[in-house]
Amino acid sequence: MPISPDIRRAIEIIDQRISSLVKIKEMLIKEFEVDQEGLAESVRGPKKTRKESLVEFLKMNGPTLWKDILSRTGMPRGTLASVLNDKKIFMQLEDGKWDLVK
């Protein structure tokens, strides 16, 4: 399927902006003598797994209903269901709230 001229132009503009951003990044790295090893981690910190994030959430918030975990963490439904399926870490209380296994 041929690409329309508008889409082709949009792609060209995006490529130009990416190129400009790469140049800016290189200039900053050079100017401030940034060690690229661990650069991403130093900017946003080590990435947590969903399970680690949920453990942290429950430690800070205590037992929480599933729907509230879903809305407050922004975790996808299927992911949340899968993570809570780890019965060594998570348990559902009699009132329906989820908590950490003691």
Q: What is the Cα 70 distance to its own chain's centre? A: 15
CATH class of 50-100: mainly alpha
> How far apart are the C-alpha atoms of 39 and 42, rounded to whole Å?
5
31-40 pLDDT, tens digit each = 877 766 656 5
pLDDT band at 15 (very low <50, low <70, confident <90, very high): confident
Asked whether residue 28 carries a pLDDT value surpassing 90, the answer given is no
Kindly report whether the global pTM for this prediction surpasses the value 0.85.
no
Here the contacts of 60-63 (C-beta below 8 Å, separation 24 or greater) are 62/99, 63/93, 63/95, 63/97, 63/98, 63/99
Answer whether residue 41 shows pLDDT above 80: no
pLDDT at 43 over 80: no
Domains in the chain: boundaries: 5-44, 50-100
For the stretch 70-85, pLDDT in tens is 999 999 999 999 999 9
